[in-house]
Amino acid sequence: MGFLVVVMGAVIIGMGVVIWKLRTGLQPGAVPLPDHGEEYDSVKVVTTGILNKDIGAILIVSNENKVLFYNHEFTQLFPNIVNIQSISEFPEIKKLFHEEEYVSEELSKIYEIRSETLEEQDNVRGRFVWLVDITGHYKTNKKLKELKEMADAANRAKTDFLANMSHEIRTPINTVLGMDEIILRETTEISVKGYAENIREAATTLLSLVNDLLDFSKIECGKMEILPAEYEVANLLTEVINMVEIKAANKNLEFIPVISENIPYLLFGDEIRIKQVIINLLTNAVKYTNEGSVVLKVDWKEAGDSHIMLIISVTDTGIGIKEEDINRLFVSFERIEEERNRNIEGNGLGLSITKQLLELMDSSLKVRSEYGVGSTFSFTLKQGIKDRKPIGKFREKYSYSKEKDKKYRTMFVAPDVRILVVDDNAMNLSVAEGLLKNTEIKVDKAADGEKALELCMDIKYDVILMDHMMPRMDGIETMKRLKEMSGSPNAETPVIVLTANAISGVKEMYLKEGFVDYMSKPIQGKRLEEKILKYLPSNKYVMVEYDEIEKSVFRSLWQETADRIKEKYPFECLDIVTAIESAEGDVECFKFLLESFRDTSDKNKADIQGSFEEKDFANYTIFVHALKSTSKMIGAEKLSEQARLLEMAGKKGDIHYIVENHQKVMELYEEALEEIRDYLGGGTGTKEEVTN
């Protein structure tokens, strides 16, 4: 464009010279020219040196269409121009002043057309047209267009591949996780539970890899959506902590959640994506940390009357990152120091997805790291406030470690409810039936669409769960035929689609087709119950109040177990009923909790004492917070309460209280440990044996 301006300027200058020569009567140097008149001759002579330099085809005419100038390249396109004085009778040339492109089939060239009006000076008026050869650019653009079409086709093929892969992989994972959940619910053998836990962790890891690929595809296509809704902070953090505690425990790492107790308990934001971001960061921290700890810190600050800034950081004592490698962390499919980290699972997408999800939520990920020492990943996120009531001590209420092996308990019972599950995979039918067994729901099964329609003619169902991908008649066609059946009692029955196809946009597609809701495989018991409950009339189910059940049934069982233990060993520092409650009545699990408390005590005591002596009260507060939780879990109530008071003093900056009470807590810690060591070592039960 700049070149065009220069040339146009040259033409105008040339015309100015012509006008000056015509006005003064000066004659330029003569060249042999056709008899087009003195005005033409002047223009030709003056402009030939400027405009005949392979810059394109140029024609200048007066406002009356009289030819004033043309250059050599123009004569190549229009040879008859040398024999005419006016273009009025030559429409092919005239239309050049109104077109944007000209194609010369004879020369196999394409020209872009530019035209300009020349300002009137001393009765000399005119306009010119300039044809610029863009054949090379055109060929390049054509090639680029072809390449774009190829890339679009490849992208569509990738999307189709991801859809198929999603379905093909999620279907067997659904079976594995579903059957595994049933085993965990029903088995009472410790070894079998351990095997089942390992299966669940491996299958969940595989599912996570698949989900990363699908999320990456959504983000890449610009189809990832942020869907804010009300959510409870405590529930979000509990799910995160429960998942990561298992991973940390398997690597013998200390996992330390430091959660502000004053965070408003009900916020407004995209809970699913926030959870995904935190889990990604914590999982990465655990993967790249071989010893030490991973700390999750959640804090907040005001951001107006109706919003807060949620402040989240993850700190590890892992391998750290070189400064020059930090930017490479967010490159898709790339893993830094591949040779060093070759044994660490992953696909190189977690942090890339995390970064892009935060950007979609108007936040950003910050990284601080020291190579060989550890790293901190942090972000702040603006969230709406729906209820300012603080979450309080949610950790004690909601968090459960792997060793406690929290038994499954159904959300509701509905013996009068009948549902139909339609799936061509027999294992999937068994999984759905098994997951709903404790709800007392009557489950009918159909292996194809035809059988489903046959059942729906005679039986009224409360909910229908329909697989999408089935042979002969898929789920969409089956659902439509069901709605069109005359005399069917299920014309208005809610139909929920179950599918392993989890790529972007499918939920909207299913809703448009007429399904009331959508569930992606693998199906989990709790999610399935929640989804069905959503569509049941309130008079057909009864919610199970577990707090009351625990008080009336389990508490008495735990008391009996605790009494049997105390008959053999008279605990004084520990409330054994509380410890047995943490282990849900499992004596082996109770012993495991005590062993874990004992085996981690040397490091924990060193951390607390070291930070106290170094006057590092920020970390001191973190360490006594952890002691508060772990000691409460094993029933060391007095130690837990004193640790809580130290934690509160640390948060308030009350150093005097810490100095006055630190030694007392350390003594209580040692007393509890002495009692635990003696019990685990086979103590006979006398106080003398405990203290000697």
> β-strands 542-543, 463-467: how paired?
unpaired
629 and 528 within one domain: no
Q: pTM of the entire structure?
A: 0.41
DSSP state of 408: P
The Cα 281–Cα 131 span in angstroms is: 59
333 confidence band (pLDDT: 50, 70, 90): very low
Contact at 8 Å (CB) between 316 and 289? yes
Query: In this model, does residue 402 exceed pLDDT 60?
Result: no
CATH label of the domain that carries residue 592? 1.20.120
The residue type at 540: K
* Residue range(s) defining the domain that contains residue 311: 225-404
8 confidence band (pLDDT: 50, 70, 90): low
Kindly state the helix (H) or strand (E) to which residue 512 belongs, with its residue range: helix 506-513
More confident residue, 303 or 199: 303
Is 678 a domain residue? Answer: yes
Is 124 a domain residue? Answer: yes
Query: In this model, does residue 2 exceed pLDDT 60?
Result: no
Contact at 8 Å (CB) between 31 and 2? no
Contact at 8 Å (CB) between 217 and 252? no
Contacts of 17 (CB under 8 A, 6+ apart): 46
Q: What is the mean pLDDT of residues 647-656?
A: 89
Domain endpoint, select from 133, 155, 174: 133
393 and 264 within one domain: yes
Listed residue (244, 250, 246) closest to 296, CA to CA: 244
Query: In this model, does residue 270 exceed pLDDT 80?
Result: yes
CATH label of the domain that carries residue 373? 3.30.565.10
437 confidence band (pLDDT: 50, 70, 90): confident
Query: In this model, does residue 250 exceed pLDDT 90?
Result: no
The residue type at 183: I
DSSP state of 325: G
The residue type at 341: N
194 confidence band (pLDDT: 50, 70, 90): confident
378 and 244 within one domain: yes
Lowest mean pLDDT among 116-120, 269-273, 362-366, 651-655: 116-120
The residue type at 364: S
Buried b / exposed e over 677-689, threshold 16 CB at 10 Å, is ebbeeebeeeeee
More confident residue, 389 or 4: 389
Q: pLDDT tens digit string along 515-571?
A: 998 887 767 777 888 889 889 988 888 877 554 444 454 556 667 778 888 888 888
Length of the chain: 692
503 confidence band (pLDDT: 50, 70, 90): low
Number of domains in the chain: 4
347 and 310 within one domain: yes
- Distance between first and last Cα of the chain: 94
pLDDT of 161: 66
321 and 287 within one domain: yes
Domain endpoint, select from 501, 529, 544: 544
List, as own/partner pairs, every contact residues 597-603 make where C-beta atoms lie below 8 angstroms and the sequence separation is at least 24, other chains included: 597/630, 597/631, 597/633, 597/634, 597/673, 597/676, 598/673, 598/676, 598/677, 598/680, 600/254, 600/630, 601/669, 601/673, 603/254
The Cα 152–Cα 147 span in angstroms is: 8
Contact at 8 Å (CB) between 413 and 439? yes
566 and 535 within one domain: no
52 phi/psi in degrees, rounded to 5: -115, 45
More confident residue, 226 or 281: 281
Query: In this model, does residue 395 exceed pLDDT 70?
Result: no
pLDDT of 19: 41
Q: pLDDT tens digit string along 565-624?
A: 888 888 888 888 888 776 656 677 678 778 878 888 888 899 899 999 999 988 888 888
How far lies 530's CA from each of 352, 367, 524, 526, 564, in Å?
A: 32, 38, 10, 6, 39
Listed residue (90, 79, 179) closest to 429, CA to CA: 179
More confident residue, 518 or 495: 495
More confident residue, 310 or 22: 310
Is 202 a domain residue? Answer: no
Query: In this model, does residue 442 exceed pLDDT 90?
Result: yes
244 and 390 within one domain: yes
Mean pLDDT of the chain: 76
Apex CA 418: angle with CA 413 and CA 419, to 5°?
Answer: 105
Buried b / exposed e over 620-630, threshold 16 CB at 10 Å, is bbbbbbbbbbb
Domain endpoint, select from 81, 110, 133: 133
Is 170 a domain residue? Answer: no
506 and 566 within one domain: no
Q: pLDDT tens digit string along 64-99?
A: 888 888 888 888 888 888 888 888 888 888 888 888
Is 380 a domain residue? Answer: yes
CATH label of the domain that carries residue 452? 3.40.50.2300
64 and 10 within one domain: yes
247 and 356 within one domain: yes
444 and 421 within one domain: yes
What's 3-36 look like in SS3? HHHHHHHHHHHHHHHHHHHHHHCCCCCCCCCCCC
How far lies 367's CA from each of 244, 280, 311, in Å?
A: 20, 14, 14
395 and 450 within one domain: no
More confident residue, 171 or 511: 511
Kindly state the helix (H) or strand (E) to which residue 311 belongs, with its residue range: strand 307-316
Is 188 a domain residue? Answer: no
Query: In this model, does residue 407 exceed pLDDT 80?
Result: no
Is 118 a domain residue? Answer: yes
Is 38 a domain residue? Answer: yes
pLDDT of 192: 79
Residue 540: CB atoms within 10 A of its CB come to 14
Sign of CA dihedral 16, 18, 24, 30: positive
Q: pLDDT tens digit string along 444-491?
A: 999 899 999 999 998 999 999 998 888 788 889 999 999 888 888 998
pLDDT of 219: 56
Contacts of 101 (CB under 8 A, 6+ apart): 110, 111, 112, 113
CATH label of the domain that carries residue 102? 3.30.450
